[in-house]
Amino acid sequence: MGRCIGILTAGGDSPGLNAAIRAVGRALAQKDIYLLGFKDGFEGLAFDKCEYLDNSTFSGILTRGGTILGTSRHKPHKMPVGKKFIDMTGAIVENYHKHQLEGLICLGGGGTHKSALRLMKQGLNIITMPKTIDNDLAETDTSIGFDTATDIATHAIDSLHSTASSHNRIILVEVMGHRAGWLTLYSGIAGGADVILIPEVPYDIKYIAEAILRRNREGKKFSIVPVAEGAMSIDVAAKFDKLHKQKAEAKDKDAAEKISDKLAELDRLNSGATLRISQQLEEMTGLESRVTILGHLQRGGVPSAADRLLATRLGVECAQSIIEGKFGVMMSARGGNVIPVPIEDVAGKLKLVPADDILLNAARNSGISFGDC
Ligand code: F6P
C-alpha cells in the first residue's frame, strides 16, 4: 500500500458531501494516493470501522444526497459506549497510526472543527472542508449543503403562498438554524416572505402583529412568516445576554459549567417558539394561523448544481493541498476562490448574520418586517 489518507463525514449530513468525497478521491487517485473511508464520523476512527474507497465507489455518487460514509455527532473525547461517554482520543490516534495515514480529511461543521482541532493537538495531520446547511461556519462565505437547503426551504415557502392566500391565513414556516438565521433569511427573501424571524434579530410580538395587520388593511389577507428554529423574543434574548456575561465572568470552570447548563435549559425552553408565536398572533390579529415545520426535509434529497460545483472545487483543492503535504487548514470558499484558512481560526467560532448584512438590509428596505420595529 502506498500513500494513504483517511476521510470521514461528521455532524448532521448535508447534500453535496458525496460530491466532495468523489472529488477529493478522484483527484488523489491521479497521484496514486489511497483514500480510507471511516464510517459514521469520528466513531469509525475510534472503533476502526473503515473501508478503502476507489473509483468504483465514486461512480454514481455525485448526485446522491446524504453521505456514503455515514455520519454521527459523536465527539472523540465523549464517545457514547453503552450508557457511558468515554474519551476515545487515544484509540483514534492509535488507529490513525495503525493505518499509516498521512493525514485525515474531516468534512463537517462547527462541532467537527472543534474535534478536528483537538486531534491536531494530538499530532494528527488534519485537513477539513466546510459542510453545514446552517452556513454558520466562520472564515468561509458558504458551506456545502447551504445552497440546496435554501432551495428546498424556498420551494416550501413558494408552495405555502397559495394555501395561505386561499384561506386568508398566517402561515409560519419553521426553518433549521438554532444559532444562525442565514437559511431563514435567504429562503425568506427568495420566497417572498412578509415577516422573517432570525436569532440575530430578537422580535417583539407586537411588531409582528402590527406588520400583519398593516398588510391586512392594504388588502393582503394572508402573511407568510419564516421562523428560524432559534428565533427569540427580546425578553429571551436579554436572558441569554445576561447568562453569557455571567459565563464570561465566571470565577472557575465549575461556575462556568453551571451557567452552561442554564444556557442549555433556556435553549430548550425557547424551542417550540414557532407554535407559541402562532398562538399569540391568532389572539392579537384575530386571523387564523398555521405552522409548518420543514425539519429534516431541508437536509434531504439531491444536491443542487451549486453545491455539486462547490463540493467539487473544494474537494479538488483539498487533494492538491494533501499532495503538497499542507495540512492544518480548512479549504474555504472566498469569492470565486478556494483559500486555505487555519483550523484554529474556524474552530469554536460562529458566523452569525451581522446587523449590516447586505441582504438583511435589502429585505428591510423592501418592506419585510423582522419583528423588531
Ligand atoms: O447542524 C445542522 C442542523 O441541521 C441544524 O440546523 C439543526 O438544528 C440540527 O442540525 C438538527 O440536528 P439533528 O439532525 O441531529 O436533529
pLDDT tens readout for residues 77-97: 999 999 999 999 999 999 999
Mutate to test the pocket of ligand 1, among 176, 271, 294 (most ligand atoms within 8 A of CB): 176
Return the sign of the alpha-carbon dihedral for residues 199, 203, 205, 210.
Answer: negative
| Of 74, 76, 70, nearest in space to 119 by CA | 76
In the structure, which protein residues have their CB atom closer than 6 angstroms to any atom of ligand 1? 12, 109, 132-134, 176-178, 229, 299
Q: Which three cell numbers stand for residue 173?
A: 414556516
pLDDT band at 11 (very low <50, low <70, confident <90, very high): very high
| Of 190, 184, 194, nearest in space to 221 by CA | 194
Q: Give catalytic status of residue 194 as yes or no.
A: no
pLDDT given at position 272: 86
Q: Which atom of ligand 1 is nearest to the CA of 149?
A: 4
pLDDT tens-digit series, residues 258-316: 999 999 999 999 988 999 999 999 999 999 999 999 999 999 999 999 999 999 999 99
Q: Where are the alpha helices (DSSP H) in 34-104?
A: 42-46, 55-58, 89-98
Distance from Cα 180 to the centre of ligand 1, integer Å: 12
What region does 40 belong to: left with phi over 0, alpha with psi -120 to 50, or beta?
left
- What domains sit in the chain, N to C, each tagged with a CATH number? 4-144+303-345 (3.40.50.450), 150-300 (3.40.50.460)
Q: Which three cell numbers stand for residue 114?
A: 472543534
> What distances in angstroms separate CA 169 from CA 106, 150, 162, 236, 277, one per listed residue?
45, 24, 10, 27, 14
Nearest CA to ligand 1 atom 15: 12
Distance from Cα 176 to the centre of ligand 1, integer Å: 7
| Of 227, 257, 113, 231, nearest in space to 179 by CA | 231
226/142 Cα distance (integer angstroms) = 21
pLDDT given at position 284: 98
Nearest CA to ligand 1 atom 12: 12
Quote the distance between the C-alpha of residue 221 and its chain's center: 34
Q: 323: Cβ–Cβ under 8 A, 6 or more apart, which residues?
A: 28, 31, 33
Distance from Cα 134 to the centre of ligand 1, integer Å: 8
pLDDT given at position 2: 85
pLDDT band at 118 (very low <50, low <70, confident <90, very high): very high
Which of these is catalytic: 13, 40, 134, 307?
A: 134
> What distances in angstroms separate CA 252 from CA 116, 227, 240, 255, 259, one per listed residue?
26, 36, 20, 5, 11
78/96 Cα distance (integer angstroms) = 18
Q: Which atom of ligand 1 is nearest to the CA of 298?
A: 4
Over 80: is that where the pLDDT of 1 sits?
no
pLDDT tens-digit series, residues 200-213: 999 999 999 999 99
